[in-house]
């Protein structure tokens, strides 16, 4: 058995989400958001190189040599499946392994708002799941794909880097392609995918203008496109998309986006009330006629107000979602207070007095301090 598998087993048995291997440190596991060292000695640079050598194929070594980092999937027999990043840094190599559950998640089990399920039944349009790294975007998208797989007779094409959850075709035909293994880039895979008769296309990351442009085009030509962006907040996502286009075509981009964007789900992972685990908390923008008009007119700054009053349509601001979950006793009120934009509604739930001092008593909307602390 490869030596790295023994460490991965230890991490899995401790209920971790990620395992870090860095020269000069013992392996570290991330549990409920915190990094904890395994009971092991510090690993030397040569040992990290040896662990990496156990999982890197020749093409991965070439990518690591050329780019300084590589993403891949790795299955340890009897242990599990992992999404892996190997990168070079000041003292050598680092390996970061994220545990991928054996079975794709189910939307109902994730505790996500029911409105998300509604968008898996669309025949066309663009649905985005956004948030920072490690906020559960891939898990939410995998659950949406699995919902489609169980309920619709369609062809689903996924473009991922790397492939995480492995979907077994049920009612749907699932075709999974890995960037770097089966296709050169998201853009190339999406361009080729439009000729492969898909009904639903998942794009693991909309990371450049060309990919965003093709994704919008695909949503406009009768495909349901699901994708992710590393943005925080629904209206910031729209800014990011529009700003990725040249200035002279941004008005047309806003018009096309208004016609084809259906939903933006912006996620945070927040510690649960008892401290054992984390829950996804979502800001949700549903693009109805009012929101579409704001997008066309470039008045995205007004979108948060529309979300705040759009509960009947399934919309909610992040602060509204956080407050509801605090009131229900589902998440840690102190962490919710830190993450909230306007902290006033959360003051009465705070259990750590120093937080009130740190954030100036929470008298007004949060600014940079809240983002920094989060």
Question: pLDDT tens-digit profile of 276-328?
Answer: 889 999 999 999 999 999 999 999 999 999 999 999 999 999 999 999 999 99
pLDDT band at 39 (very low <50, low <70, confident <90, very high): confident
For residue range 56-91, list pLDDT tens digits in order: 999 999 999 999 999 999 999 899 999 999 999 998
301 contacts 235 by C-beta, under 8 angstroms: yes
Q: How far apart are CA 75 and CA 80, in angstroms?
A: 6
CB neighbourhood size of 72 (10 A): 22
Q: Which two tokens stand for residue 227?
A: 């994708």
226 CB burial (10 A radius; 0-12, 13-18, 19+): buried
CB 101 within 8 A of CB 88: no
CA 346 to each of CA 63, 210, 349, 362, 366: distance values in angstroms, whole numbers, following the listed order: 47, 42, 6, 8, 12
Residue pointed to by tokens 């020269």: 23
Please report the sign of the dihedral spanned by the C-alpha atoms of residue 13, residue 14, residue 15, residue 17: negative
Q: Is the pLDDT of residue 364 over 60?
A: no
**Residue 361: what pLDDT?**
54
Half-sphere exposure at residue 132, Cβ-oriented, CA atoms within 13 angstroms: 6
Mean pLDDT for all residues in the chain: 92
* Beta bridge partners of residue 321, listed in sequence order: none
Q: May I ask the CATH architecture of the domain 3-100?
A: 2-Layer Sandwich (3.30)
What are the structural domain ranges in the chain? Answer: 3-100, 107-324, 342-373
Q: Please say whether the beta carbons of 119 and 284 come within 8 A.
A: no
Closest CA to 141 of 228, 254, 55: 228
- Rounded to whole angstroms, how far apart are CA atoms 319 and 330? 14
Q: From residue 258, how far is each of 99, 116, 298 by CA, in Å?
A: 37, 19, 10
Q: 107-324 has which CATH code?
A: 3.40.50.300
Average pLDDT over every residue of 143-164: 96
């Amino acid at each position: 058995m490869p030596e790295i598998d023994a460490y991965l087993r230890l991490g899995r048995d401790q209920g971790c989400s990620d395992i870090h291997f860095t020269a000069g440190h013992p392996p570290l596991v991330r549990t409920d958001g915190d990094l904890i060292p395994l009971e092991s000695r510090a690993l030397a640079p040569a040992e990290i190189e040896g662990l990496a050598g156990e999982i890197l194929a020749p093409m991965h070594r070439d990518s690591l040599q050329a780019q300084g980092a590589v993403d891949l999937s790795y299955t340890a027999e009897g242990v599990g499946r992992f999404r892996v990043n190997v990168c070079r840094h000041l003292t050598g190599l680092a390996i970061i392994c994220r545990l991928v559950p054996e079975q794709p998640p189910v939307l109902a089990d994730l505790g996500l708002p029911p409105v998300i399920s509604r968008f898996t039944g669309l025949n066309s349009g663009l649905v985005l799941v956004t948030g920072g790294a490690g906020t559960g975007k891939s898990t939410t998208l995998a659950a949406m794909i699995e919902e489609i797989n169980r309920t619709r007779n369609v062809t689903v094409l996924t473009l991922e880097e790397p492939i995480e959850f492995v979907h077994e075709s049920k009612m749907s035909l699932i075709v999974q392609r890995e960037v770097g293994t089966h296709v050169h880039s998201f853009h190339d895979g999406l361009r080729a995918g439009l000729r492969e008769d898909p009904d639903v296309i998942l794009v693991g990351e909309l990371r450049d203008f060309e990919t965003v442009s093709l994704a919008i085009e695909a949503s406009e030509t009768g495909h349901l496109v699901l994708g992710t962006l590393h943005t925080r907040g629904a209206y910031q996502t729209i800014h990011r998309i529009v700003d990725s286009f040249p200035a002279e075509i941004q008005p047309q981009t806003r018009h096309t986006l208004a016609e084809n964007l259906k939903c933006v789900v912006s996620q945070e992972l927040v510690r649960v009330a008892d401290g054992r685990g984390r829950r996804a908390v979502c800001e949700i923008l549903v693009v109805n006629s009012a929101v579409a008009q704001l997008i066309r007119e470039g008045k995205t700054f007004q979108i948060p107000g529309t979300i705040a009053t759009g509960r009947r349509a399934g919309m909610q601001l992040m602060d509204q979602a956080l407050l509801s979950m605090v009131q229900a006793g589902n998440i840690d009120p102190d962490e919710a207070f830190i993450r909230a934009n306007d902290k006033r509604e959360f003051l009465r739930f705070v259990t750590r007095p120093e937080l009130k001092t740190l954030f100036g008593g929470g008298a007004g909307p949060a600014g940079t301090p809240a983002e920094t602390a989060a």
